[in-house]
Amino acid sequence: MKLDSIVVVGGGTSGWMTASTLVRAYPDKKITVIESKDVPTIGVGESTVGGIRKWAQYVGLRDETFFAKTDATIKMSIKFNDFYKKDSGGFHYPFGFPMKDRERNPFADWHLKKYFYPKTPVEDLVRCLFPASALFETDKYSENLNGEFDNFNPNDDIAYHFDAAKFGLYLRDEYCVPKGVKHIVGTVVSITQDEDGITGLVTDSGETLVADLYVDCTGFKSLLLGGALEEPFTPYSDLLPNNRAWAAQIPHKNPDAEVQGFTNCTAIENGWCWNTPLFSRIGAGYVYSDKFVDPETAKEEFKQYLMSDKIVVPRTREEVDSFKYNDVPFKVGMYERTFVKNVVAIGLSAAFIEPLESNALYSVHEFLFYLIDTLSRGEISQWDRDMYNTSTKKTFDGFAKFVALHYALSHRDDTPYWKALLNKNYVDKQGNSYFPSVDKVDYFWDMNYRYMHAWYHPEGQGGNTYIATGLRLDMITEYRFLNIQKQQGRDIRKENSEIVASWEDRKNKWAKNALEAPTLRQYLQGKFYTKEQDV
C-alpha cells in the first residue's frame, strides 16, 4: 500500500491534531480534512497530561501563540479528593520527576518515613519530593529561572487546560490550513470499498474523495472503522464502571482563587466530578454509571456538588439551575484493531477509557506518534499494521488498568455504587489479576523496595505509586521492615531521619520562594493575556 494522499474524516480536536501531526511529519503529502458543520464536538475533556507538551513541541506550537486563543492555563498536577473514603481528603499526582537523595529511590525513603512516623499524611509524599507542590498547593507559579524550585522544569513538567473546541479551531485555521492542509466542509453520505479497504467517500455535495489512507476521527460513531469495515469493538465495562457524564461550563466568580494549577477530581455518590480551570471559566462535569443512578438524579447530585465546599467557590441554587448541562453517554473500550486495511482510527473512533486522568487526548497524541513511525517507511504492509495495533493496544490497555486502579484501591462503601466497586472481582476466570504489573502487593514491593538503598531506579516512580500511596496502600509493614533491616544490616532509621531532615529544609525553602512568586492567574495575565481578555 503506497502512501501519497491522506483523508482525515472528522474535525474536532482529534481530527485537527491528526492533521497537524501528519503535515508536520509529511509536508509533501496531500492531506485533506473533511469536517461536517452539523456534528458537534463532544467537549467532555479540556484537560491534558504531560505528553501533550512533547506533542506540542514536535509540531512546533508555542504557548505564546495559542494560550489566549484557546482560554488555556497551566496544569502541574491532578488532585484526587475523597476517592479513598467519603470526606477522606485529597492527594496530588504531579508531573515531572521527584527530587533524589543520595541517588536512592525517593519513594522507598518516603515510605520508610511513613513507617517510622505513622501519622505522616499521604499528601506529604508529593510535598517532600516535588518542589512544584509549593506552587500548585498555593495557586502560585514560577518559571524557575534561578532554580528556586530545584528540579522543577516548566518546559517538561506541565500540561494544559484549554477549551478543546477552540484548540481544534486554532489548529485548523492557524496551523494546518496555512501549511497546505485542504479543508472541506461537508458530510460523508456514502462509502465505497473493496477487498483492500475503502475506495472512496461520497460527500453531500456529490464530490468523491479518494486517498491512499483514510483516518477516522468521527468520534464514537466510528464511521469508517466500526461502521464501513465493521471492526469488532471490545468493551472494557468489566474493568471500568462509568458510562455517562454531565458536563457544564461555569463562569468564574473569583478568578484569582479559581485559576488553579491542577485538575480537581472529587468522588461523590455514583462517580466523580472534574473541575478544570480555564482562564475565563471553569469546565466541570460528573462522570457516573447509569447502572446505579438515572441521569436526572445524577444531574441533581452534580448540582449539589457545585453548591458544596468541595469546590473553591460554591455556587447558589439559582446559579446552578441557570447553567447549561450536556449529558454525554460514552462507550468504554477499544476496537480489536485500530489500523485495518487502509483505515486507521484516532481518538474516540478508536478507543476511550473515561475522563479520569485526562486520558482522551493522551490516546490521541500517543497513537499519532505510533502512526507517523509506522508511515515513515513510505509504504504499508500487514506487518506494519500489526505492529501499530500491538503498540496502541498495549498503551490503551495499560492506561485503562491504571485508571481502574483508582477504583480498585478505594475503600468507599457509602453508596451501592461504591460498595459494588469495593467488592468487585479484579481477577479473571483463569485466576489472573487484571493488574499483572500493578498487583496490590507484589508490584509495589518489587518496584519500590528491591532498590531501596541502591541507585535510583527510574521504574520506581510513576502514576501507580502516587495513586497507591494516596489511597493508603502502606508499602512497608513491620514484617517487611524487619526483613529489609535484616537484609541491609545497617541503621536504616538513622539514615532515614537524616533524609527527612533534609526534606524539611527544602520544603521550607520551596514554601518561602512560593510566597514571592505571582499567583498562577497573575503569571498567565502578564505572560499571555491582555486586560481586554480578562473576563
**Do 324 and 280 form a contact (C-beta atoms < 8 A)?**
no
Q: Can you list the alpha helix ranges (DSSP code H) found in 357-490?
A: 360-375, 382-408, 416-422, 442-449, 463-470, 478-488
User: Closest Cα partner for 421 from 295, 269, 264?
Assistant: 269
SS3 at position 417: helix
SS3 at position 261: coil
Q: CB within 8 A of 499, min separation 6: which ones?
A: 101, 102, 109, 113
Pair type for strands 343-345 and 213-216? parallel
Residues forming the active site: 75
Q: CB within 8 A of 24, min separation 6: which ones?
A: 58, 59, 60, 179
Buried b (16+ CB within 10 A) or exposed e, 420-436: ebeeeebeeeeeebbbe
Question: How far apart are alpha carbons 327 and 293 in whole angstroms?
Answer: 13
The class of domain 5-46+163-236+332-404 in CATH terms is alpha beta
pLDDT value at position 375?
95
- Residue 256, C-alpha cell as written in the block: 484569582
Predicted confidence pLDDT, tens digits, the chain (535 residues) = 789 999 999 999 999 999 999 999 999 999 999 999 876 665 555 889 888 999 999 999 999 999 999 999 999 999 999 999 999 999 999 999 888 776 577 888 888 899 999 999 999 999 999 999 999 999 999 999 999 999 999 988 999 999 999 999 999 999 999 999 999 999 999 999 999 999 999 999 999 999 999 999 999 999 999 999 999 999 999 899 999 999 999 999 999 999 999 999 999 999 999 999 999 999 999 999 999 999 999 999 999 999 999 999 999 999 999 999 999 999 999 999 999 999 999 999 999 999 998 888 999 999 999 999 999 988 999 999 999 999 999 999 989 988 998 999 999 999 999 999 999 988 777 777 776 544 443 434 443 444 333 333 334 456 888 888 899 987 777 777 777 777 666 788 888 899 999 999 999 999 999 999 999 999 999 999 975 444 4
The model's pLDDT over 182-198, given as tens digits with 9 standing for 90+, comes to: 999 999 999 999 999 99
pLDDT value at position 31?
98
**Do 142 and 135 form a contact (C-beta atoms < 8 A)?**
yes
334 membership: H or E segment, kind and range:
strand 333-335
Backbone angles phi, psi at 350, to 5 degrees: -105, -45
Half-sphere exposure of 84 (CA within 13 A, CB side): 16
Half-sphere exposure of 211 (CA within 13 A, CB side): 24
User: Closest Cα partner for 343 from 218, 236, 220, 235?
Assistant: 218
- Residue 313, C-alpha cell as written in the block: 467557590
Radius of gyration of the chain (CA): 24
Q: What angle do CA 284, 285, 287 make, to 5 degrees?
A: 155
Q: CB within 8 A of 25, min separation 6: which ones?
A: 372, 375, 376
Question: How far apart are alpha carbons 258 and 263 in whole angstroms?
Answer: 11
pLDDT value at position 351?
97
Q: Can you list the alpha helix ranges (DSSP code H) found in 209-351?
A: 255-258, 295-306, 317-322
Q: Would you list the domain boundaries of the chain?
A: 5-46+163-236+332-404, 75-160+439-516, 245-326
Q: What angle do CA 129, 132, 137 make, to 5 degrees?
A: 105
Sheet holding 339-340, edge to edge: 182-185, 30-35, 5-9, 213-216, 343-345, 339-340
The model's pLDDT over 108-134, given as tens digits with 9 standing for 90+, comes to: 888 889 999 999 999 999 999 999 999
Query: How does DSSP assign 122-142, residue by residue?
Result: TTHHHHHH-TTHHHHTTTB--
